[in-house]
């Protein structure tokens, strides 16, 4: 087994395998975004969405477990191991908070409006930029760095949309449903913050790689 890993490292397969696992994590997070948007616009009933996103989260956790095992066994990694672990953890946090958003939508019995959908769209774009960065990291590192920066900008857009949606929500009477909607908005804001952490982890790794 050890010899096989040495051969994989020499052939350049190990770094690609590590990156593919993180990309699979991002794909699971993207599925979470789709489910969160579907429950927001009423295409999917909250109890069913809650069950489905729990399954997606389980898949994401499995990928993270694979990555931890891979990092412990790989002789070389495409970027710093600590940064890879940090990136993986932040992607996991994105999916965890999307799960909580869906769960709380069911628990509170309220839905958000188009402002929340716009926030989720920005999260999806940011995740796709992260995916693009990892896909290009080995052959086109300059493009990878640009994609990481683009992902960070999307997280900033999420925060801007959150502030706008919150101002609109609180412009009328403060009722119990409004307070519940505020909590849901805050959950999406936290998703944006975790997306920023993903981008920062990758940007830091790219900087180390260039030194």
**What pTM, to 2 d.p., does this model score?**
0.91
Residues 58-71: pLDDT tens digits?
999 999 999 988 88
Per-domain residue ranges of the chain: 2-210
Report the pLDDT value the prediction gives residue 79, as an integer from 0 to 100. Answer: 82
Nearest CA-CA partner of 12 in 59, 78, 71, 65: 78
Q: Alpha-carbon dihedral of residues 86, 87, 90, 94, nearest 10 degrees? A: -170
> What is the rounded distance in angstroms from the CA atom of residue 141 to the CA atom of residue 175?
50
Report the pLDDT value the prediction gives residue 208, as an integer from 0 to 100. Answer: 79
Report the pLDDT value the prediction gives residue 6, as an integer from 0 to 100. Answer: 47
Report the pLDDT value the prediction gives residue 13, as an integer from 0 to 100. Answer: 65
Residues 139-197: pLDDT tens digits?
898 899 999 999 999 999 999 999 999 999 999 999 999 999 999 999 999 999 999 99
Task: For CA atoms 120, 122, 126, 128, give the dihedral sign.
Answer: positive
Report the pLDDT value the prediction gives residue 157, as an integer from 0 to 100. Answer: 97
Give the relative orientation of helices 114-136 and 13-41 as an angle to the nearest 10 degrees. 170
State residue 143 phi and psi, 5-degree precision.
-65, -35
pLDDT at 7 over 60: no
> Whole-number mean pLDDT of the chain?
91
Report the pLDDT value the prediction gives residue 15, as an integer from 0 to 100. Answer: 80
User: Is residue 127 within 8 Å of residue 26, measured between CB atoms?
Assistant: yes
Report the pLDDT value the prediction gives residue 11, as an integer from 0 to 100. Answer: 45
Give the relative orientation of helices 141-169 and 176-210 as an angle to the nearest 10 degrees. 160
> What is the rounded distance in angstroms from the CA atom of residue 21 to the CA atom of residue 85?
11
* Structural fold of domain 2-210: Methane Monooxygenase Hydroxylase; Chain G, domain 1 (1.20.58)
| Nearest-5° Cα angle at 36, 34 to 37 | 65
Report the pLDDT value the prediction gives residue 87, as an integer from 0 to 100. Answer: 95
What is the number of other CB atoms lying within 10 angstroms of the CB of residue 66? 18
- Direct distance between the N- and C-terminal alpha carbons of the chain, in angstroms, rounded to an integer: 32
């Amino acid at each position: 087994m050890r010899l096989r890993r040495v051969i994989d490292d020499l052939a350049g397969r190990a770094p690609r395998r590590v990156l593919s696992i993180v990309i699979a994590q991002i794909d699971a997070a993207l599925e979470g975004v789709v489910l969160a948007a579907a429950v927001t616009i009423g295409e999917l009933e909250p109890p069913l969405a809650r069950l489905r996103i729990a399954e997606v989260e389980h898949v994401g956790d499995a990928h993270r477990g694979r990555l931890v095992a891979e990092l412990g066994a790989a002789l070389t990694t495409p970027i710093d191991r600590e940064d890879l672990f940090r990136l993986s953890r932040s992607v996991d946090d994105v999916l965890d908070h999307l799960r909580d958003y869906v769960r709380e939508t069911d628990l509170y019995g309220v839905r958000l409006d188009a402002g929340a959908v716009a926030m989720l769209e920005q999260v999806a774009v940011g995740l796709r930029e992260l995916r693009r960065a990892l896909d290009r990291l080995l052959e086109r590192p300059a493009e990878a760095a640009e994609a990481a920066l683009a992902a960070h900008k999307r997280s900033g857009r999420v925060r801007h949309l959150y502030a706008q949606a919150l101002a609109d929500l609180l412009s009328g009477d403060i009722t119990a449903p409004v307070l519940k909607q505020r909590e849901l908005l805050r959950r999406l804001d936290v998703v944006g913050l975790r997306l920023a952490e993903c981008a920062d982890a990758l940007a830091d790794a790219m900087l180390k790689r260039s030194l």
